[in-house]
Amino acid sequence: MTSFHVLISGGGIGGLCLAQGLRKAGISCAVYESAPGIVNAGYRLHMNVLGGEALRQCLPENLYELYLQTSRRTPKREMSVMLDTQAREIWTRPHIGPPNDGERPHTAVNRRTLRQILATGLDDVLHFGRTAVGYEAGPDGARPLFDDGSSAGGDVVVGADGIHSPIRSQLLPDVHVIDTGMRGMWSIAPLTEDLADVMPDALFDGFAIVTRGDGTIFAIGVYDPRRPISEAVADLAPGAGIDHVEPYVMVTYGSDLGADPTPDMPDFAHDSPEELHAAIRRAMRGAHPGLVELVDRIDESTIAPSAIRYLEVADAWRPSRVTLLGDAIHAMPPSFGAGANSALRDAAALVRALDDAAQGRRPLLEAIGGYEERMRAEVFPIMRASADPDAVHSDHVPDLAG
């Protein structure tokens, strides 16, 4: 093709990784993000070899190194561990996916830091405050349609716009959002030396789940970067708009997948941060002293409600000039920490497919169809397994082959 332009709806992790990869491949693109900027939404993200290697493929060398240096220090055990409230180990299991080894394995990142790294250098193609509400597509091109009545023309539209994607709703109207009924809250506690001294050792493994045995759980993840973020940015991407973040412990609390709410469950959507903090202190009463201290240290300004929803698994569809990635097509519960990694995997795979088309190695629809077929084969099994109510409470790692 003499010219090739990709229009990406959504500036989350998957959409930005796709834009970085396309730029690296010499393919023109534009990203349209409905938010006014990169907002705070969630905290720590588990990273595995699939997501990390996708970043290696798509990012310029300095930004990939910045991702590694601002990732969490390598934990004592790169495992998911379930504990009771006295910090006694119930089971451990490896994280899903291929082995994640090496001198600096992929560990965990701060979500906003990763998005800011991914946005670095994209100022000329990243457009905030632009909300796509649909698309038009034909044999010669495709264009997103925006809520202000405008549109933008190009060759391919990519819906990277999350679980409530208007692009998916038009392309695959029979795929519905499923509400798990899980309600809860996110928060962080600053990771100080004195807090680290009293926390149970297992909390410094890859990821910890504390079960109360009553249908509610705490999920706990340490974020302690390999290098101070401001120092790494000054060295590797001076002048980049990447905020400094101090080490912290992410603490989530809420109802378990498939469990009925307990009578004393707080109203996560309407209670104040102070009320939610008091409620989770009550929930941790009588627990291991290090767990009690961790909950006491939560910064109330970081408390935010959460609701877990996921998508139905889509039947195969006919390829077109409109395609999807990440939560727009396979939003899943966080049971295996695979959502962000799957979105990054999609981005790298779609870069390869679109590069084949742009270079004339494959017809465009054949390239897009191949990307979609492999995504269904590789990601949909994880999606199904993540929605299993037993996923959090089992040390079984599902067989995802085929």
User: What sign does the dihedral 52-57-59-65 (CA atoms) show?
Assistant: positive
> If pLDDT is split at 50, 70 and 90, which confidence band does 93 have?
confident
> If pLDDT is split at 50, 70 and 90, which confidence band does 53 have?
very high
Per the prediction, the chain carries an average pLDDT of 93
In Å, what is the CA distance from 202 to each residue of 136, 191, 212, 220?
51, 15, 16, 10
Q: Are residues 215 and 244 in the same domain?
A: yes
In Å, what is the CA distance from 316 to each residue of 227, 239, 311, 365, 373?
44, 45, 15, 15, 8
Q: Are residues 28 and 122 in the same domain?
A: yes
| Predicted confidence (pLDDT) per residue in 179-212, tens digit | 988 889 999 999 999 999 999 999 999 899 999 9
Mean pLDDT of 328-337: 92
Residue that the structure tokens 């045995």 belong to: 213
Q: Are residues 220 and 143 in the same domain?
A: no
Lowest-pLDDT range of 8-12, 63-67, 77-81, 297-301 = 77-81
Mean pLDDT of 127-146: 97
Mean pLDDT of 105-121: 97
3, burial (CB in 10 Å: exposed 0-12, middle 13-18, buried 19+):
exposed
Q: Residue 57 half-sphere exposure, CB side, CA atoms within 13 Å? A: 22
| Predicted confidence (pLDDT) per residue in 292-308, tens digit | 999 999 999 999 999 99
The total domain count for the chain is 2
Query: Is 401 contained in some domain?
Result: no
| pLDDT at 103 > cutoff 90 | no
Query: Is 91 contained in some domain?
Result: no
Q: Are residues 173 and 130 in the same domain?
A: yes
Between strands 108-110 and 126-128, the pairing is unpaired
DSSP annotation of 142: E
Compute the CA torsion angle 91, 97, 98, 101 (nearest 10 deg).
Answer: -60
Identify the domain containing residue 12 by its residue range. 5-76+98-178+309-386
Query: Is 394 contained in some domain?
Result: no
Q: Are residues 17 and 164 in the same domain?
A: yes
- Point out the domain boundary residue: 253, 284, 307: 307
Query: Is 398 contained in some domain?
Result: no
DSSP annotation of 185: E
- Point out the domain boundary residue: 307, 337, 356: 307
